[in-house]
Chains A and B, each alone.
Chain A
Amino acid sequence: MRVVHYINQFFAGVGGEDSAATGPASTPEAKGPGRKLANLLGPDHQIVATVWCGDDYAVGTAGAMDEILTLIQAAEPDLVIAGPAFTSGRYGLACARVVAAATAAGLNAVACMHPDNPGLDEAGAAPVVASGEVARSMGPSLDTLAGAARTLLLGAELTVDDGRIGRLPRRSVLDEANAATRAVDLVLARLAGDRDATEVPLPRFDQVTPAAPVDDPSAVTFAFVTEGGLVPDANPGGLESARATRWLRYPIEDMSRMETGEWRSVHGGFSTVFANADPNRILPLDVARELEGEGRIGALMAEYFVTTGNGTSVANARRFGVEWAADIRRSGARAAILTAT
């Protein structure tokens, strides 16, 4: 059967960080880790194309997934394989989005990454299997991936026994009893000694290791990021007041402060009266420009990023973070100030 393999610019041999902005491309053969994967898949299956893309381009460019999906579909695959991405955040996010997009387009797909990869939740309903932490574990990771691929090509579903990771979708259903009655049942179960009974498994959050402190702020460009919903007064990008599914960027390059009346917070989670009376309370551009003028910080990034942090799903919030980091890194800024409300 026909398999298309998605990898990033590094594993395609195009280049490292310096090539992360490279757009997608395709070649009609196995490439990089795909060569070993092709051997593991055996004679019944063939890698008919390798599609690759720079990580920054894949996660930070609007329409990147459409371009990648077009290249994948052109090879008419029976299965799309993405990765292994190990713990690499942008690569993991790209792999997760590729399999999510492929699945949404009706294709069979599987990604491979470490369980701590922040991209994991972006795979949506598409299956993901575990890789090791770093590329040194390529061998066993490819064994897992090839096994999962063969299972999928037989038309079977993946389970934890196949190395499947990530959350299985939680569906909303109507129970026979209301939640208050079920809470009483749970109290009685716990009092009777069942210390594990619960309807909601504890979510697993990844631990974020803070970046090292900035050695010399006067030599560094700072980015401004806020979840305070602060947008131009007419809200031209249509930022949501709650349950944000996107983030927006607006230029602040030639401005010394956020002028009252020109900016407005659309955040639905707090009274925005004080924010609108002086938008610098959400995005303290006035003070930042003073610090810049005094030479205490190097410069400010030309745009700020904004979303609304109000009932936002953790999966979306995590995606915003990965996209912001990629964008800020690409801009040359090396520090970010995130104002929260």
Chain B
Amino acid sequence: MEGVGLTRLVHQVRGIEFGDRLALADGVLTVIRDDAAACFNSPGLASVTLSVAAPGESARIVKVLDAVEPRTKGPGGGGIFPGFLGPADAAEVGHGATHVLRGAAVVVAGYLPRAQEAVIDMSGPAADLSPLAQTVNLVVEFVPADGAPWEDVDRALRLGGLRLAAHLAEAALDVEPDAVEEPLDPGAAEGMPKVAALTNLQTQGTFKDVFVYGKSFAGEQPRVVDPGEIDDGAVVSGQFGHPSLKNPTWVHQNHPVAAALRARHGVDLCFAGVVISPEPVAMAAKEDISAVAARVCAEAGFDAVIVTKEGGGNADADMALKMDALEDLGITAVGLFAEMSGIDGTGPPIVVPPERATAMVSTGNYDHRLSLPAVDQAYGGERVALVDQPATDAMELPTAVIYCSLSCLGWGRLRALV
């Protein structure tokens, strides 16, 4: 029987530079600037500008949209980001081997309507809080084409970012990986409790949407996916609300709950799978989807489920309903919640708490203030919209603005406590 997930050929990237050929040597990724920019050729975009922002630099990226980890399965990008770069080939996606450029990311930044201000500081007190402050980033800034509808700009950026990520990873095709991560052996955890991830995807219309196999997941039903499918980019983010509470494509690719379960597979539990679920807008739909999600988990025979969300207060309801529905079916539920307890941390931490399923992990307080130092260089825009200050200024910002700082998928170490 084939294992769970796929084989990751991991190449550690420590630097990115521009040059005259695409190459990966000694941890340095060399990129041909024009080839990289050509990934964004589209009627929706007039031009793009590429820069490198590395950990430790006095640099700030503002108006961050999506971030993508460079990955490929072979020349031409087949099997990676299915639905966007190629067909949803069931024999290919989620199987075989995938090259992973760990430590590198494509980060798209700039103004889109409805995108809430999102900030990455590559050094200073906010750097510990964002996964994209730990990666060497190829930052893509853009100028929309004259008169292009914003929806077209959004689509062009998403497709361009995925193309660029797949293109960059081709540098690793003939390079010996630094590490090989094998699929899990299902037999190694026989008799251990079956624990799964239930991953809510925020699906609330244009600019607040998540794509599965290239299509909006809005209106879809919860379903089981193989962790390998997520590794190969079956889930792509187009969700630009709540910067601290969003799960960009990079975080899905590195699904932290899947990683944590994987680490314990055969030790004290069996990593039993991932269920993805939409987060609809209306309360009745939230209730319906939660009931379906709980049934899917019961039919799969899970003993326990770790539930995660994406988005602000209303997404707490999706969590609470699913957790209670799971407990009602006898399945242990644990949820990851960002707290919204006000600047001084004394308010009620959760907007819609579960009633019966009370096992909650904290990912930090949304309203906690951070003092960020002035920086030498800013990308993504001239100003930080929230405080209307030049982007390079020293400024005080709520944790809510720091990209993925309260990662609902569990990437971060932040938590709140008394």
Q: Contact partner of B116 among A125, A197, A204, A268, CB < 8 A?
A: A268
Which of B80-88, B99-107, B211-219, B361-369 forms contacts with chain A? B361-369
Q: Mark B352-363, 1 if CB is under 8 A from A, else 0.
A: 010000111111
As a 0/1 sequence over residues 383 to 418 of chain B, the CB contacts with chain A under 8 angstroms (1 = contact) are 000000000000000111000000101111111111
- What are the residues of chain B within 8 A of A312 when measuring CB–CB? 313
B417–A171 CB distance below 8 A: yes
CB distance from B85 to the nearest CB of A (A): 28
Pair B413/A186 contact, Cβ less than 8 Å: no
Judge whether B334 and A190 touch: CB under 8 Å: yes
Q: Which residues of B contact A204 (CB under 8 A)?
A: 348
Which segment, of A21-29, A74-82, A174-182, A298-306, faces chain B? A174-182
B31 at interface, CB cutoff 8 A: no
Q: Which of A132-185 contact B (CB under 8 A)?
A: 166-184
Kindly name the residue among A123, A177, A179, A200 whose own CB sees the greatest number of chain B CB atoms within 10 A: A179
Q: Find A174's partner among B336, B341, B414 (CB 8 Å cutoff).
A: B414
Contact A183 B303 (CB under 8 A): no
Q: Which of chain B's residues have a CB closer than 8 A to the CB of A271?
A: 114, 205-207
Contact B116–A187 (Cβ < 8 Å)? no
Do the beta carbons of A177 and B413 come within 8 Å of each other?
A: yes
Q: Are A187 and B332 in contact (CB under 8 A)?
A: yes
Residues of chain A contacted by B417 (CB below 8 angstroms): 170-171, 173, 199
User: Distance (Å) between the CB of B356 and the closest chain A CB?
Assistant: 11
CA A83 to CA B275, docked complex, whole Å = 53
Chain A, residues 8-21, CB within 8 Å of chain B (1/0): the string is 00000000000000
- Indicate if B268 sits at the interface (CB-CB under 8 A): yes
Q: Is B111 located at the chain interface by the 8 A CB criterion?
A: no
A-chain residues with CB within 8 Å of residue B147 when the two chains form the complex: none
Number of B residues with CB within 8 Å of any CB on chain A: 68
Does B310 sit at the interface, judged by CB under 8 A? Answer: no
State in angstroms the CA–CA spacing of A268 and B118 once bound together.
13
Which residue of A has the minimal Cβ distance to B385? A241
Q: Which residues of A contact B259 (CB under 8 A)?
A: 180
A216→B281 CA distance, assembly (Å)? 35
List CB contacts (< 8 Å) of B189-206 with chain A.
Answer: 193, 195, 204-206
Contacts of A314 on B, CB cut-off 8 Å? Answer: 340, 342, 347-348, 351
Task: Answer yes or no: B261 CB below 8 A from chain A CBs.
Answer: yes
Which residues does chain B contribute within 8 Å of A169, judged by CB atoms?
344-346, 418
Residues of chain A within 8 A (CB-CB) of B340 are 311, 313-314
The answer for the CA separation of A79 and B19 in the assembled complex, in Å, is 69
What's the tally of chain A residues with a CB closer than 8 Å to chain B? 52
CB neighbors of A among B239-292 (8 A): 241-242, 256-257, 259-261, 263-264, 268-269
Among B256, B359, B416, residue most surrounded by chain A Cβ atoms (within 10 Å): B359
Interface residue B228 (Cβ < 8 Å from any Cβ of A): no
Assuming the contacts A180-B336, A184-B306, A271-B205, asked whether A313 and B342 have C-beta atoms less than 8 A apart, the reply is: yes
Q: Are B415 and A175 in contact (CB under 8 A)?
A: yes
- Judge if B304 is at the interface, Cβ distance under 8 Å: yes
Query: Shortest Cβ distance from A317 into chain B, in angstroms?
Result: 9
Contacts of B52 in A (CB 8 A): none
A188 to B399, CA, bound (A): 30
Among A178, A179, A243, contact of B398 (Cβ-Cβ < 8 Å):
A243
Give, as a whole number of angstroms, the nearest-CB distance from A234 to chain B.
Answer: 14
A-chain residues with CB within 8 Å of residue B264 when the two chains form the complex: 184
Question: B269 contacts A172, CB within 8 Å?
Answer: no
The answer on a CB contact under 8 Å between B346 and A182 is no
Give the distance to chain A from B233, nearest Cβ to Cβ, in Å: 20
Q: Are B359 and A190 in contact (CB under 8 A)?
A: yes
> Smallest Cβ distance from B390 to chain A, in angstroms?
18
Complex Cα distance A176/B411, Å? 12
Instruction: Please report which residues of chain B, range 304-355, place their CB below 8 angstroms from some CB of chain A when the two chains form the complex.
Output: 304, 306, 312-314, 332, 334, 336-337, 339-342, 344-351, 353
The answer to whether B220 has its CB under 8 Å from any CB of chain A is no
Known contacts A271-B206, A311-B312; A198 and B360 CB within 8 A of each other? yes
In Å, the complex CA distance between A170 and B412 comes to 18
A residues near B, CB below 8 A? 121, 123-125, 166-184, 186-188, 190-191, 196-205, 241-243, 268-271, 310-316
Sampled A-B contacts (24; CB under 8 Å): A121-B348, A169-B418, A170-B345, A172-B416, A178-B411, A179-B336, A179-B414, A179-B415, A186-B334, A187-B304, A187-B306, A198-B359, A199-B360, A200-B339, A202-B358, A242-B312, A243-B366, A243-B367, A268-B114, A268-B116, A271-B207, A310-B313, A313-B341, A314-B340
Known: A179-B412, A180-B336, A200-B339. 20 other contacts (CB 8 A): A169-B418, A172-B345, A172-B399, A172-B414, A174-B413, A174-B415, A178-B411, A179-B361, A179-B414, A181-B260, A183-B257, A183-B361, A187-B332, A188-B269, A196-B358, A200-B360, A200-B362, A202-B358, A243-B398, A268-B114
